[in-house]
Amino acid sequence: MDEKVLSFNPTKIRIATQNGRTRVFKKTKAGEYANLQRALAYVDLAALHCNGYGIQIVRGSSWNEAAGELEMDLARGENLETLIKGPQRGQIVALLEEFISLVKAHGFLWGEIAPRNMILDTAKKTLTLVDFEKPLAIHGRPIDDYGFYRFLSAYAREEMAGFLLPDEFNRVLGKHLRRPDASKAIGVDQIGSNRKRHLLSHFFGTQSQYNHSQLDQVERLMAAVVAPRTENGKIVAYPAYEMDAASSLGVERYLSLVLNFSEGNTHGISNGVGGVGKP
C-alpha cells in the first residue's frame, strides 16, 4: 500500500517515546493548541459517530511555550489518505461522505479537513482528527447550505479532489457545492492560502477583495489540477503529490504548473485530464 501523505514536514514534526508513551512534537503556534482544546471539548460532549466509528480528537495534548511546540499522543491507526489508495477504498469513500454530512449537521467547520488528518483505528472503532492549524468554527447546529459550500470550497475541495474519482467526489463533496454569489466578496487578507492568492491575482488582477465567483473559479481549477489520473477506469497516478512537491519549491513553480494545466498543456504534470479553460 502506498503510504505517502501530503504536506508532511519532518522539520516541523518529530516523534519520541517518553515514559513508555509515544509522543508527537509539532512546531506550530499556540492557536493550534487552543483550537484542539475547543474541538476536544465539543466532540467529547457531542459523542459524535460516523459509520459506526466514534469521532475523537487526538489525546494527551499540551503546549510548550518555550519550545513553541504542541505535544500530543501519537494517534494509532492508519490515515485515510493511505487507506483510500488501497483495497478499502469503497469503505473510506462512504466514511468521508458520512463525515462531511456530520460536520454540516453540527456546524463543525474544521479547517484542516483532509484524508491525511483523519486516523482510522479499526480495532477500537475510532476516527481521530489530528491537525488544527487552520481556522476552526464550532456552531453546534446545522450550517446553512451556502455557508457550508463556501467552507468546503475554501478548505476541502482541493484536498478531497486529489484522491476521489468524479463520481466519488460528487457523493462526498459535490452535492454540497452551490452556485457562487458574485455579489458577495472576501478580503484578500482572509484568504489563508498563498497559492490561491497568487492565482486570483494572476487571473483577476491585484485586488483588496475577490468575489465568490472568482474564488470558486480558482478553487475549481486548483481541484482539477490534482484530480487522479486514470487509464481504462483505473487510477494510475495521483498528481496531488507532484503539485505538493512543486509547492515546496515555491509558489512560482506551483503557479507555472497550474497555468500549463489551465491552458491544456499537461507536460510536466502527471494529470492527463486536459485543460479546463481559464477561470
Q: What is the mean pLDDT of residues 218-229?
A: 95
Beta bridge partners of residue 78, listed in sequence order:
120
Over residues 259-271, the pLDDT tens digits come to 989 887 443 333 3
State how far the Cα of 36 lies from the Cα of 138, in Å rounded to an integer: 12
pLDDT at residue 42 greater than cutoff 90 = yes
State how far the Cα of 238 lies from the Cα of 73, in Å rounded to an integer: 30
Q: How confident is the model at residue 20 (pLDDT cuts 50, 70, 90)?
A: confident
Model pLDDT, residue 11? 83
Q: What is the mean pLDDT of residues 66-86?
A: 96
Over residues 200-221, the pLDDT tens digits come to 999 999 999 999 999 999 999 9
| Average pLDDT value for the chain | 91
Place of cell 491544456: 264
State how far the Cα of 9 lies from the Cα of 48, in Å rounded to an integer: 30
pLDDT at residue 38 greater than cutoff 70 = yes
C-alpha cell at 207: 485586488
Model pLDDT, residue 6? 54
The pTM of this model reads: 0.91
State how far the Cα of 188 lies from the Cα of 208, in Å rounded to an integer: 6
Min mean pLDDT across 3-12, 74-83, 153-162 is at 3-12
Model pLDDT, residue 263? 81
